[in-house]
Structures are given as structure tokens and as C-alpha cells.
Structure 1
Amino acid sequence: MDDYLVRILTKAGTFRGLACVSTGVVAEAARRHGTLPTATAALGRALTGGALMGALLKTDQRVALKFEGNGPLGKILIEALSTGAVAGTVGNPAVDLPLLDGRPDVAGALGRTGLLTVTKDLRLKQPYQGTVRLTSSEIGEDLAMYLTESEQVPSAVRLDVFVEQDGTVGAAGGFLIQSLPPQDETAIHLLWERIGNLSSLSDHFCRGGTPEQLLDVLFVGIPFETFEKRVISFQCTCSREKCEQALLTQGKDALRAMADREGGGTVTCAFCREVRNFSQEEMGSLVDALSEPVAPPPAPSDESGKTAVLDIRRTLEINKKT
């Protein structure tokens, strides 16, 4: 089954629902980052949540999620576009904790104390940003709390990743349900009760269940219309041009040293692990592009502009060529 997402709206206009299968996206991320099972589950849930959040945006908009906890995982960074493209990274891919009640201990890996920061590039002068404390560190509940508290939209989010005994990704997917005004308290209670009674989402997707079938179960008896189905994929926004910009932030002296003594340099994207090599001649051209030796400019803060959504100095690792 290819990865895709479905979006529905109830005919009364009081609820919207999104559901997706993301097995391929999570498997690709696990392969690129070499994650062990618990890290795979955590990163996979965050990627799935990012895809759902991205689907709420308008054309050419994007959202970045940053989960920071006090557990061994450290942090998770996700970027999702309105097109269905999503990519991400995890602080420590080598985390693998014992199962907790038969499920990956994602909360133990991320840590039960920390923050979730959501930054949206809405193509305005400044990005929109909101931060909440981690509620459960299970990823889905934390995203629901952010949407409910920071955006004032009552929301429910469930995300799940099943990791096989050999460490491969067996299934992944999730859903996001939001109550829209005018709020129907009776229907909210009914939906939230159904969500609470749902069995494992990974079981649903492992059995070949679809996002459409999942929404059918949740909204049985509540008329709705499906108005979008889109492909989702692991796709990064990095480029050679962004890598050049990252190198330029190192300053003229550092670039000259890399060109003269090390024969070139490499830049690795932290989100997708793609490596781009720069020859000695290319490094020399970058040196020439700098008019004078200056200190690297400060990295933009999360409040300083659109580039904060994907800060190239944070997500591109500059390495010496070996």
C-alpha cells in the first residue's frame, strides 16, 4: 500500500478528519538514519503527525515540529510541506528501550519533561510559533494538546508505528480529528469516546486497513464527505544551493583552510542524510564569493523569519572531506 492521506469534512461542518498510512515514509526515515526500534517508533510517530499537520496548511506553506525532552532520545525535528512531503531527524538514533506493556516506550525515550515547539511558515512576514509542555511524550497526545491550547481547536490525534522483531517497519499511520464551530458537544463526546475505545492503529494497518476504513469507523452515523486524497512521501527540502549557503556561514578563512589543506568539504543534511561534496575548486569559488573575511553571521532565532522553519545551520552538518 502506497502512503497517502485522506481528509473529510462532516456534512454539518462541525468536524474535520484526516487519516493516513505512512509505513513507507517511516521505513525510509529509519533506513536513512539507522534508527533502532524505539527511536524508529518515536521518529515515525512524529513524521506521521507532521504529515497530518502539513495537510492542514494552504499551498506553499510548511510546518516544523521540535520535540525536546529529557530522555535519551534528546529531540525530534520534523518539517512537513502542504504538498505531502515530510522529513525529519532524531537526536539519538541508537535508542532502544525495553517494551512497555508490549509497546515501544516512546515516552521513556523522549523523556516526560520537555517542550513541543510548532513553527508555521504561512508566507507572511514572520512565522507563527507556539510552544507547549510535553503532556505525555507519546507524540500524538502532545500534538493534540498543542492544537487545543495554542490554536484553540479541540483536537484528537492518534499515531502508531509497528516495528518488527528484526527492526523493520511493519506498519505506520494515524489520524487527526478536530471540532469546528459551532461545536456539537454531544458529537464531541461520542467521537472522543470512540477514539478512546479504538484498538491499536498499527494492528489496523498491519491487517491492510485503510485510512478510509479508519474514518468510517470513527464517523459511523455521522454523515461526511471526502474531499481530498493526497500522496505523502519522505522528501527533504535540502538542496546544493542551501549547502553552499551553509558553507558560506563558516567564513572566508575557514573555507580557505578547507580548500587548501583538506582538498574540499562535505555537507550532510541532518534530515535526510544526503551528502553533498564540494571540490577544492568549488570551495575556492565560495571563498571568492565572500568579499572580505567576516565572522559567520548568527543563526536566525525561531522568531527572526521564515528561515527559522528550516535553519540551514541547524540541519546541515558541515564536515571536513576525508
Structure 2
Amino acid sequence: MAKVQRFVSHDFTLRIASVDATDVVAEMQKLHNAFPVAASGVGKAMVGALLLASQLKDKQQIGLLFRGSGSLKSIYAEADFEGNIRAYTPHPQFEPESYDGGLKLSEALGKGTLTVARHVPFQKQPFQGMVELVTGEIGDDIAHYLHQSHQIRSIVSLGIYLDQQGQVQKAGGFIIEVMPGVDEAMVDLLQKNSEKQKPSVSSVLRDGGTPEDLIRPFMEGIDFMQLEHEHEIKYFCPCSKERVAEALTILGEEDLQDMVNKNEEPEVTCQMCGKPYVFTMDEVVEIRDRVNKKPLH
């Protein structure tokens, strides 16, 4: 099973993570029946979330919400330190008028914002930061967020390779973060390496490359070592009937009563994993009664 590979320069001032996330991105595409543009956008957000989450601590989680003026409207990806990932866009079947010039994700997402939320156990509110989207290309926007919100310079490269039928064949990426106290000569070398012509993430993976192969050209002349990171990545959604029932209370007493009057047994599908939850009339009545009692507490 795939894992996020973590590395660090010998003086600990460069922090690196890279991953081949093909399996989980292909699983997302299948669950949501995502067409090429959505598969590419959501896939890149998933890879970015996995890379950022791998640098957190046990039980911590990160959520990336891209909101834009384009046809996709939004992309959300959520990952935790343990390698669990799930993601979503409200318009997975969006198709542009033509694919001339390739997949134009920046057009499909449009102008907008990236909100990053970091959840820490036992903390009621997540830490949140928001930045403007600079390009609508997921990797650039994550790098912009790291610089604006944490003063961390970084190289973020994400790639999705689709076959001619629009199916995900390869997905992965890497992030190199420059930590405070770094020797500027090392930054210059990193810069010089990144300016040379480098193969894209998707072509390296397509040619059988490993996560380490993705970062090696950037680290020429810089000593680095691998850190332990044992967690396998998997598409995981913690949804349950109880959580969905809780979400139904948001409808309010009036709408729930309307369902009872019409004898409607709602079927709610989880947006993240596509799992359907069917509620019987007795269960709808029970949820309505719970809403009715809430103001008394």
C-alpha cells in the first residue's frame, strides 16, 4: 500500500513530503463518477492535503476548501496524519465546451479563495487561514497559502495523468518547505535546481518512478535523509447514520413535519463517499421530535 514518504535535509531546514496517491485518487473518481476536469482538480487537492497532513502530529487533520467563481464552484479535500483522505466537488460531471488546450482547471475553478482548516484533537475550533487564489492551479495556491499564512517558502508540484478515456492512471506530488534559519546558499541551490528543466510529476510516475524520484532532481547537491512515516494512505469517510440524522435536524421542525405529512422516507447520500442512508417514517418522526425538544434544554 502507498504511503506518504517524508524526508528532511541533514540540517533539518528543508522539510519534504512526496507521494504516489494513484489508488486513492482513482477510487475518488470512481465513487463520484468524476469527469476529467473534476478528477484532476479534486485529485490534486487530495494529494496536497495528504502532503500537508503528513507533517502534522497524531490525530491532527487538515481541510482544504477551494471556492471559486468558475463552473466547479468548489473543491474540498480533507486528510489526517494517519493517511485517511476524502474529497468532494459539487459538480463532478462538469465538462468544458472543448478540451482544446488541455484541462483548464484554473478556468473551471475561477477566482476565489482557499481556506485551510487545521483540526487538533480536544480543540473546539480549528485553526483557520484564508488566502486569495493566485492561479486556480492547486499547487500554486497551496504554496501561496504557506507563504502568506506561515511565512514558509515552498515548492509544491502536483500531477494527475489521465488516459484518453479520462480515467486516472497516475496521481501524486511533492512539497519542499524551507524552514526558518535555513542557509540561504541552500535556498539558492534549490532555486537553481528548480529552474532547470524538470520532468512533470505525472510523467515521472507514468515511467515507473517512485515518490523519492520526484524530489531527487530538486535536491541535487543537498544532503537529505528519509524520516519514518508508517501510515498507509486510504480513502476513508467517517460518515454514519447517526451523523446524517444529526445533519437532518438542520432542516427544522417544519420541513420534517412536511415529510411526515407526505409520508416521505428520505434517502440521503453522503457527498464524500456516495454511501446512501435511508430513513424510515419512524426515524423521521424521532428526528422531528428531537428538534422539537431542543429549545427546551
State whether TM-score is above 0.5.
yes
Which amino acid in 2 is paired with 1:81?
A: D
Q: Which string of whole-angstrom CA distances, capped at 9 and with x for unpartnered residues, describes residues 224-248 of structure 1?
A: 2211233212112322221111112
Tell me the TM-score normalised to structure 2 length.
0.91
Which amino acid in 1 is paired with 2:13?
A: T
CA distance in 1 between partners of 2:125 and 2:40 (Å): 33
- Residue 209 of structure 2: aligned partner: 209
CA distance in 2 between partners of 1:100 and 1:199 (Å): 22
Q: Does the Cα contact within 8 Å between 1:62 and 1:80 map onto a contact in 2?
A: yes
SS at 1:4's partner residue?
coil
- Residue 107 of structure 1: aligned partner: 106
- Residue 130 of structure 1: aligned partner: 129
Identity of aligned residues (%): 33
Structure 1 residues 291, 68: CA separation in 2 closer, same or farther (over 3 Å shift)?
closer
Instruction: Give aligned pairs, total.
Output: 291
Q: Unpaired runs of 5+ in structure 1? A: 295-322
Q: Which string of whole-angstrom CA distances, capped at 9 and with x for unpartnered residues, describes residues 169-220 of structure 1?
A: 0100000110112122221122233234321110111111110222333323
Q: 1:117 aligns with which of 115, 118, 127?
A: 115
Alignment of 1:70-149 (within 5 A): 70-97=69-96, 98-99=98-99, 101=101, 103-111=102-110, 113-123=111-121, 124-149=123-148
Structure 1 residues 231, 143: CA separation in 2 closer, same or farther (over 3 Å shift)?
same
**Shift, 1:23, TM fit:** 0.9
SS at 1:177's partner residue?
strand
CA distance in 2 between partners of 1:69 and 1:131 (Å): 13
CA distance in 2 between partners of 1:181 and 1:263 (Å): 58
SS at 2:166's partner residue?
coil
- Residue 223 of structure 1: aligned partner: 223
- Residue 20 of structure 1: aligned partner: 19
- Residue 258 of structure 1: aligned partner: 259
**Shift, 1:252, TM fit:** 3.0
Q: Unpaired runs of 5+ in structure 2? A: none
Q: Which string of whole-angstrom CA distances, capped at 9 and with x for unpartnered residues, describes residues 145-181 of structure 1?
A: 1001111111111101011111210100000110112
- Residue 286 of structure 2: aligned partner: 285
Range with greater deviation from structure 2 (164-173 or 223-232):
223-232
CA distance in 2 between partners of 1:48 and 1:64 (Å): 12
Structure 1 residues 106, 181: CA separation in 2 closer, same or farther (over 3 Å shift)?
same
Alignment of 1:162-241 (within 5 A): 162-196=161-195, 197-229=197-229, 230-241=231-242
Which amino acid in 1 is paired with 2:250?
A: T
SS at 2:251's partner residue?
coil
SS at 2:272's partner residue?
coil
SS at 1:131's partner residue?
strand
Q: How big is the alpha-carbon RMSD for the aligned residues of Structure 1 and Structure 2?
A: 1.9
**Shift, 1:60, TM fit:** 1.4
CA distance in 1 between partners of 2:236 and 2:25 (Å): 11
- Residue 315 of structure 1: aligned partner: none
- Residue 319 of structure 1: aligned partner: none
CA distance in 2 between partners of 1:195 and 1:223 (Å): 16
Tell me the TM-score normalised to structure 1 length.
0.84
Q: Which string of whole-angstrom CA distances, capped at 9 and with x for unpartnered residues, describes residues 30-59 of structure 1?
A: 111111111111111111111111112211
- Residue 305 of structure 1: aligned partner: none
CA distance in 2 between partners of 1:219 and 1:55 (Å): 20
Q: Does the Cα contact within 8 Å between 1:115 and 1:133 map onto a contact in 2?
A: yes
**Shift, 1:76, TM fit:** 0.6
CA distance in 2 between partners of 1:167 and 1:261 (Å): 42
Q: Does the Cα contact within 8 Å between 1:107 and 1:138 map onto a contact in 2?
A: yes
**Shift, 1:114, TM fit:** 1.2
Matched, 1:158 2:149: no
- Residue 243 of structure 2: aligned partner: 242
Range with greater deviation from structure 2 (220-229 or 243-252):
220-229
SS at 1:76's partner residue?
strand
Range with greater deviation from structure 2 (269-278 or 211-220):
211-220
CA distance in 1 between partners of 2:92 and 2:206 (Å): 24
SS at 2:228's partner residue?
strand
CA distance in 1 between partners of 2:286 and 2:20 (Å): 45
SS at 2:51's partner residue?
helix
